Amino acid sequence: MRPLTPPGAGPGRHASGPTRASVARSAEVRLHGLNACLTAFARRPQDLRKAWLLESRLPAFKPLLAWCVRQRLGYRVVDADELVRVSGSTHHEGVCLAMRPLSEQTLAAGIGRLSPGPALLTVLEGVGNPHNLGALLRSGAHFGLAGVVLDANDPLTLSGAAARVAEGGAEAVPLLRARTGEDVAVALRAAGFALAATLPRAGQSLFDATLPARIALVFGAEGGGLSAALVAAADRRLTIPGSGAVESLNIASSAAVFFAEWRRQHPLPPA
């Protein structure tokens, strides 16, 4: 990811090239997991291409099977071994759907659709584990995360494994892809977002901090953490205080704590 511009630096120029110049994108993704598949079909049935399921899952997917019949889409009742083969996972939970992938948004489009009030974004640097992404999307959906920001050339995408762990949350939290050469910090600050680097230690205690209504929390990969350039360029540095019995929380657990504290300070409006 291009180093973030320190506060007060001049505006950058956005490239006009494709959102993901060097990251290949599949025309189909195979989702598995009960909640991931139920939610994906409920939200975007038009993206369904084919279904495989165990006989035991037929009652839960009656509306999907009826849709397949009306739309002349293929579906197969298979055994567990076949489901492992088509899903690529032993954690299929009895169902696999071939679907068009969720469309990623450009960073500019994602920011542009937000209302002017409180908003929470996450910027990821070097996070490659799909299970961590899935867990982050699950907690993000619960707390109202508005999007996950990725660099133009970051290979991280929404895989079937990530969607399963997200338990439906992947359908609610969009991936926002920066354009090649786009300065993420400039774009976020122009939209009123403060940038907060999340650190395992040496930052301000999250529970003593007043979190801005519009904030982008920056997370790095486990082990390597955030680059020095990102830490230096952030508006603030935040740490979750703990007992010291373990070195730190993993990214998924840390993200849930950060999301919860931001939501505590900025509650959802009454229903």
Tens digit of pLDDT at every position of the chain (271 positions): 555 544 444 433 333 333 333 334 568 999 999 999 999 999 999 999 999 999 999 999 999 999 999 999 999 999 999 999 999 999 999 999 999 999 899 999 999 999 999 999 999 998 889 999 999 999 999 999 999 999 998 999 999 999 999 999 999 999 999 999 999 999 999 999 999 999 988 899 999 999 999 999 999 877 667 888 888 889 999 999 999 898 889 999 999 999 999 999 999 888 7
Which residue is it, tokens 């929470």? 120
CA distances 154 to 5, 133, 190, Å, are 19, 13, 23
Q: Among 227, 228, 219, 224, which residue's Cα sits nearest to residue 197?
A: 219
Q: Which two tokens stand for residue 203?
A: 């930052």
Q: 111-154: per-residue pLDDT in tens?
A: 999 999 999 999 999 888 999 999 999 999 999 999 999 999 89
Q: Which domains does the chain have, with CATH numbers?
A: 29-99 (3.30.1330.30), 105-265 (3.40.1280.10)
78 three-state secondary structure:
coil
Contact 177, 104 (CB under 8 A): yes
Predicted TM-score of the model (pTM) = 0.87
| Beta strands per DSSP E along the chain | 29-32, 48-53, 74-77, 95-99, 105-106, 119-125, 147-150, 175-177, 194-199, 204-205, 214-220, 236-239
Write down the pLDDT at residue 202: 87
Q: Among 268, 269, 202, 203, which residue's Cα sits nearest to residue 235?
A: 203
Which residue is it, tokens 């950060």? 258
Q: Among 111, 234, 99, which residue's Cα sits nearest to residue 177?
A: 111
Contact 110, 122 (CB under 8 A): no
